[in-house]
Amino acid sequence: MNENEFDLTARAWLDDGPIRMSDRAVQSALEEIHTTRQRRAMWPAWRATPVSIFGRMAGTAVLAVAVGLLAVNVLPRLTDGSGVGGSSPSSTPTQELDLPNLTKTFVSPRNGFSVKHPERVVLTPAKQLWGLSQQVDDGFDVVETGLAVVFKGASTGSGLGDERSSSTDERVDEYLSDDYVLPGGCGVPRSQQAEITIDGQSGRISECPNRIEATVVAAGRLYFFTLVHDRSDAKAVFDAFAATIDLTPETAVDFPVMTTSFVSPTYGYSFKYHDRGGLAPATELWDPANQPLDNDNQVHNRFDAVETGLAAYFAAASTEIPEGISIDEWVDEYVSPGGCEVPRSQQAEITIDGQSGRISECANRIEATVVAGGRLYLFTLLHDRSDARAFFDAWIASVDLTPETASGR
């Protein structure tokens, strides 16, 4: 048998033979090699007994088999960190997660943030201002992954970042203790929670069974993010979501969705509002030419009003327009004397239920007038809010003018 034939025979034997030596056999071989004392050569090297070519080749093949089997058994164990020589390099969180890549972006329409999520999820944007609904999730943007993970986010502009009266931690704890805001939370005082960074802002995080919660304050706005889960790698999942969050407090909406309808029994319109028990329909007719608006009680009695409890007070009324008058001049003289002091003809335009009107803004007050069906309508917002115009526009967008239903014509 020549050398090439032997190589082919040896390879065939290796291919058909065992591919893995038992752990016990490998360990025994290693111990034998390590502990057996090496004998000195009995003869000088120049007098070594000659060995045939076939014998040398056979010895080489046996050594190759031994090395191959040792490699099969030992090297995989070393690379997975279970063998000798130290642990394997740590994997990145995304490699460990059983979660699809976060490739899609959700931009909250109300809460002032965006977050990335997997492609196939169920998104439920917040339906209401956080804390103003008995249904807790109404104020949360919800990402249902279908992988034993639900990510939620909400925010509030209630001045929780203002530390003038008490610490941020105390105010956050007080706010989150409200049953309508977050029932059954982790219950760890914020000052004792671990630190976390979200979009460059320092926050706090706590973990309890099947739930992770994190809070962060940006531009005086409190953000709350939570993960409801049934997973052993939940913290890694939460961190993956949190790493994609962008906080945009300037885009947040801090007034509630108006879902309750009010139909004026007197003035020929309807509008929507958020019902917090502050509705007060008019008890007297408004007659601006003969009853100047000179005190608050007259306004309350003659206007349909809504006290929102959110530093905003809506009031509305309508009246027949006398014949043969200039609308702009009449409004300037009787409807809004001492108001924003901008002549109606110079006020900005606004559309109310398809009708062209005028709007003026002054300190803590917004007024809009519009004519429909021979009637003048006045809508007013008294406020102490920086987003008053947006709040006013949301209210006006819900107005339906029905002059034919007005009483006292």
Q: 84-131, pLDDT tens digit by residue?
A: 333 333 333 444 678 899 999 999 999 999 999 999 999 999 999 998
pLDDT at 159: 61
The yes-or-no answer to whether 95-251 and 260-405 have a common fold is yes
| For the chain, domain boundaries | 3-79, 95-251, 260-405
Question: Is residue 142 scored above 70 in pLDDT?
Answer: yes
- The string of pLDDT tens digits covering residues 302-311 is 999 999 999 9
Q: What CATH class is the domain 260-405?
A: alpha beta
Question: Is residue 144 scored above 60 in pLDDT?
Answer: yes
3-class secondary-structure state, position 282: coil
Q: Percentage of the chain with pLDDT > 90?
A: 59
Q: What is the mean pLDDT of the chain?
A: 79
Question: Is residue 270 scored above 80 in pLDDT?
Answer: yes
CA separation for the pair 17, 20 (Å, rounded): 9
Of the pLDDT bands very low, low, confident and very high (cuts 50, 70, 90), residue 1 is low
Average confidence (pLDDT) over 263-278? 96
Could you tell me the end-to-end alpha-carbon distance of the chain, in angstroms, rounded to an integer? 122
- Greatest mean pLDDT among 14-28, 31-45, 50-64, 291-305 lies in 291-305
- The string of pLDDT tens digits covering residues 151-181 is 999 999 866 655 444 688 888 888 888 765 6
User: Which of 48-62, 130-144, 208-222 has the lowest average pLDDT?
Assistant: 48-62
Query: Considering only CA atoms, which of 54, 23, 44, 228 is closest in space to residue 144?
Result: 228
**At which residue do the structure tokens 């164990």 appear?**
77
User: Would you say 101 and 118 are in contact if contact means Cβ atoms under 8 Å apart?
Assistant: yes
Of the pLDDT bands very low, low, confident and very high (cuts 50, 70, 90), residue 41 is very low
Question: Is residue 55 scored above 90 in pLDDT?
Answer: no
pLDDT at 177: 80
pLDDT at 212: 97
User: Which of 80-84, 261-265, 313-317 has the lowest average pLDDT?
Assistant: 80-84
CA separation for the pair 58, 55 (Å, rounded): 5
pLDDT at 317: 96
User: How far, in Å, are 122, 138, 154, 222, 366 from residue 182 at the CA level?
Assistant: 22, 12, 11, 14, 35
Question: Is residue 275 scored above 80 in pLDDT?
Answer: yes
pLDDT at 60: 47
pLDDT at 335: 87
Average confidence (pLDDT) over 194-205? 97
Average confidence (pLDDT) over 264-288? 95
**What is the token pair recorded at 233?**
């790698």
Question: Is residue 252 scored above 70 in pLDDT?
Answer: yes
User: Would you say 106 and 142 are in contact if contact means Cβ atoms under 8 Å apart?
Assistant: no
Of the pLDDT bands very low, low, confident and very high (cuts 50, 70, 90), residue 15 is low
Q: DSSP state, 386?
A: T
Domain 95-251, architecture per CATH: 3-Layer(aba) Sandwich (3.40)
User: Would you say 68 and 21 are in contact if contact means Cβ atoms under 8 Å apart?
Assistant: no
